[in-house]
Amino acid sequence: MFSSVLIANRGEIACRVVRTAKRLGLRTIAVYSDADANALHVRLADEAHYIGPAPARESYLVAERLIAVGRKAGAECVHPGYGFLAENAEFAEAVAAAGMTFVGPPPAAIRAMGLKDAAKALMEKAGVPVVPGYHGELQDPRFLKEKAYEIGYPVLIKPVAGGGGKGMRRVDRHADFEEALQGAMREAAAAFGDSRVLIEKYISAPRHVEIQIFADAHGHCIHLNERDCSLQRRHQKVIEEAPAPGMTPAVRGAMGAAAVAAARAVGYVGAGTVEFIAAGAEGLQPDAFWFLEMNTRLQVEHPVTEAVTGIDLVEWQFRIAAGERLPLAQDEVPLVGHAVEARLYAEDPTRGFVPSTGRLVALEFPRGEGLRVDSGVEAGMTVTPYYDPMIAKIVAHGADRTQALDRLAEALERTLIAGPRSNAAFLAALARAPAFRAGDFDTGFIDRHLADLAPAADEPDRAAAAAAVAALVADEQRRLAREAAARGEPAGSPWLATDGFALAGSSAMVLPVLVDGERRIARVAFRADGPVASLDGVVAAEDVRLVVADGVVYALRRGRQTVVQIDESGLDHDHGGGDGVIRAPMHGKLLALLVDKNAAVDKGHRLAVIEAMKMEHTLVAPFSGVVVEISATAGQQVAEGAVLMVLAPTV
């Protein structure tokens, strides 16, 4: 076994590798950019070294800097994690040239599987089933269009290089092929520097099933069963599970044998994943699956395999890289219960899944039987725009699929994230979706059900917002009570009323607030047990968790976040009606009268200032006129609706 490891990555995977490496007795060496100086993986490692500015191309993707750190720190091996340089053959070669061991497959295997067209040709020779299509070198548009016609529509245009769905186009009609091809080539060139594409038959109701394989340097290769990754959005995996719903021993045997054959065909060593597409309309069949690609690294979703097998895949990676033999034979690989993983991201599903950055004001993950959380962030840290916005991977394991999904949904709904938006509610809805639970799903499931899973944010969560308003008012009551007690004064403000006390016959107040950035008017009633708030007639819900920070309340309910604060920009309002009567918009203290009786004012002229909720509210004239009456005195406590003055319009 090695004595030290350089972890050439960041975030949750770096934290994941650190924990296993320390358990094995390895000295852990982390790297960090400007944006990650205080990151969790930096603090978990035994030592950490700076590698450059925040953008990955200037830090985590600079192989020379990583190699230099490894040499300086005396690392015996380099674990690349996933992403960044994990599947870069040149980096693997540079690691070896520097006298360190690359914890991953041989560079030749990485290259063999790096280009989809070459990989598919290699798989055909190895007897691995491949989706019907054209994977050749000729890229003439007219020729490709002819090939698409021969294959039969619908077809998929896919870039030869890269992945993640970039450059991929589905074409249903021959007449649409040329335009789709041009778009796919442009996007592929921009994303991967390679405009070449391949054409494949589109599989109806496709399921995305992958096989985890492991091979050692002594000629042994096994698979650790499958994972179903069919729940995807824009070709990106969202929820993964093991075993695959509807999997049979016959299909698992056939698919596992094909994955092992694929690995042997490229002389593979270490952990890898062979991905297949399966026709799902008639259920999984041993003769209806085809090779997609091979990921020559650890996968994001590897924890579900660990949950059902009890195997630490990172430990196996280290042991295989150190020259050890596989610890198990194929018939010894366990498969216990069911596991499911959700990728928790800082993004807003109600607004098209746009990334959401900012400081994590609060972050709490649930604990319980069968739950595992892999994360690279903590409360107080900042989600930056420089890297993948993953907050955590929530993994649930149960005796069966129903129990695992129940545990996952409950865990997501109990997760507290204040600050950036998250997809927690969306993921919980997915885990509870009846059709998904019944096994009626494929890779298009999310797109078909998106309106139900992530409804547009047309309206706020009023019940959560009302709870936040009540918290703001209660906080103000406590502040005023403390100040009054410090002065030795009785609590005379109506803000402090807890028994239904009201001035001028009013027992409530209106309060301008911002709810998720939108201007709203809340109403607060004062009762013996505290303030009761409502928004548009909807009262506060009881299942709301509140986080108050810097005058902002984050209301978390069922995985959805609602942000509420006082509407400072909306405090200078016309508070008079057409009759010219100027009334107090809320309970508060009349700080100043800015006009005298008989004064002439123009429309919008500032008339008075009321202090409430630690904010100053300015009242302005609704029209041009003359102040004919003043009914209040500066310094006086006034109730919502109390008459302050009367204006007469200018004739």
The mean pLDDT of 533-540, rounded to a whole number, is 92
- Quote the pLDDT of residue 485: 82
Could you give the 3-state DSSP secondary structure of residue 563? Answer: strand
Amino acid, res. 231: L
Between strands 518-527 and 382-383, the pairing is: unpaired
Instruction: Encode pLDDT of 371-400 as tens digits.
Output: 999 999 999 999 998 998 999 999 999 999
CATH 3.40.50.2000 fits 338-449, yes or no: no
pLDDT digits (tens, 9 = 90+) for 437-495: 999 999 999 999 998 898 776 678 999 999 999 988 888 778 777 877 887 766 555 44
Strand arrangement of the beta sheet that strand 530-535 belongs to: 538-539, 530-535, 518-527, 508-515, 560-566, 552-557, 545-549
Phi, psi of 178 (to 5 degrees): -60, -45
Q: How far apart are CA 297 and CA 271, in angstroms?
A: 6
**Average pLDDT in the 415-426 region?**
95
Closest-CA residue to 373 (of 353, 397, 356): 397
The fold for domain 462-567 equals Glycoprotein, Type 4 Pilin (3.30.700)
The alpha carbon dihedral of 388, 391, 397, 402 has a sign of negative
Indicate whether 433 pLDDT > 80: yes
- CB proximity list for 40: less than 8 A, separation 6 or greater: 15, 375, 376, 377, 378, 381
Beta bridge partners, 521, equal 512
Confidence of residue 525 (pLDDT cuts 50, 70, 90): confident
Alpha carbon distances (Å) from 559 to 380, 430, 461, 550? 19, 12, 12, 22
Work out the pLDDT band at 574, boundaries 50, 70, 90: low
Question: Partners of 354 in the beta sheet?
Answer: 348
As given in the structure block, the two tokens for residue 5 are 């490891």
297 catalytic? Reply is: yes
398-412 average pLDDT score:
98
How far is Cα 319 from Cα 216, in angstroms, rounded to an integer? Answer: 9
What pLDDT was estimated at residue 498? 41
Q: How confident is the model at residue 114 (pLDDT cuts 50, 70, 90)?
A: confident
Q: Name which residue leads in pLDDT, 482 or 269.
A: 269
Give me the pLDDT at residue 505, please: 37
pLDDT at residue 69 is higher than 50: yes
Q: Lowest-pLDDT range, 10-14, 113-117, 259-263, 413-417? A: 113-117
Q: Which helix (H) or strand (E) holds 147?
A: helix 141-151
- pLDDT at position 613 is 60
Structure confidence by residue, pLDDT tens digits, 159-194: 998 766 788 999 999 999 999 999 999 999 988 889
Percentage of residues of the chain with pLDDT beyond 90? 72
CATH placement of domain 4-103: 3.40.50.20
Residue 570 pLDDT class (50, 70, 90 cuts): low
Lowest-pLDDT choice from 91-105, 280-294, 431-445: 280-294
Candidates 2.30.40.10, 1.10.287.470, 2.40.50.100, 3.40.30.10; CATH matching 571-649: 2.40.50.100
The whole-angstrom separation of Cα 597 and Cα 627 is: 5
pLDDT, average across residues 82-96: 96
* pLDDT band (50, 70, 90) for residue 568: low
- What tokens appear for 442 in the block? 């494929």
pLDDT tens, 316-331? Answer: 999 999 999 999 999 9
Q: For residue 181, count other CB atoms closer than 10 A to its CB.
A: 20
Which of 598, 613, 457, 643 shows the shortest CA–CA distance to 533?
613
Where exactly are the structural domains of the chain? 4-103, 105-131+207-336, 132-201, 338-449, 462-567, 571-649
Cα–Cα distance, 424 to 554 (Å, whole number): 15
Instruction: Give CA torsion, residues 443, 444, 445, 447, to 10 deg.
Output: 140
Catalytic residue among 297, 414, 523, 560: 297
Say how far apart CA 6 and CA 101 lie, in whole Å.
10
- Return the minimum-mean-pLDDT range out of 81-95, 153-167, 293-307, 385-399: 153-167
What pLDDT band is residue 506 in, cutting at 50, 70 and 90? very low
* Residue 409, SS3 per DSSP: helix
pLDDT per residue as tens digits for the range 607-630: 999 887 666 778 889 899 999 999
d(C-alpha 577, C-alpha 572), whole Å: 15
Q: Is the pLDDT of residue 409 over 80?
A: yes
Q: Do domains 105-131+207-336 and 338-449 have the same CATH topology?
A: yes
Q: Which residue has the higher pLDDT, 574 or 365?
A: 365
Query: Other C-beta atoms within 10 Å of 107: how many?
Result: 19
Residue 486 has a pLDDT of 83
Among residues 443, 645, 628, 470, which one has the least CA distance to residue 553? 470
Share of the chain above pLDDT 70, in %: 93
Q: Which CATH number fits domain 132-201: 3.30.70.100, 3.30.1490.20, 3.40.50.300, 1.10.8.60?
A: 3.30.1490.20
User: Residue 122: helix, strand or coil by DSSP?
Assistant: helix
The mean pLDDT of 521-548, rounded to a whole number, is 88
Instruction: Give the burial string for 315-343 (b: 16+ CB within 10 Å, else e).
Output: bbbbbbbeeeebebeeeebebebbbbbbb
Q: How far apart are CA 168 and CA 502, in angstroms?
A: 65
Q: Does residue 503 carry a pLDDT above 50?
A: no
Give the per-residue pLDDT at 518.
Answer: 87
Instruction: Tell me the HSE value of 461 on the side-chain side, using a 13 A CA sphere.
Output: 23
Taking the C-alpha atoms of residue 378 and residue 359, their distance in angstroms, rounded to an integer, is 10
* Residues 521, 31: Cα–Cα separation, whole Å: 49
Arithmetic mean of pLDDT over the chain: 91
CA separation for the pair 206, 168 (Å, rounded): 15
Question: Which CATH superfamily groups domain 105-131+207-336?
Answer: ATP-grasp fold, B domain (3.30.470.20)
Per-residue pLDDT band at 251 (split at 50, 70, 90): very high
Contacts of 29 (CB under 8 A, 6+ apart): 4, 5, 6, 7, 45, 46, 47, 48, 49, 69, 70, 73, 75
Amino acid residing at 558:
R
Report yes or no: 113 and 296 within 8 Å, Cβ to Cβ. Answer: yes
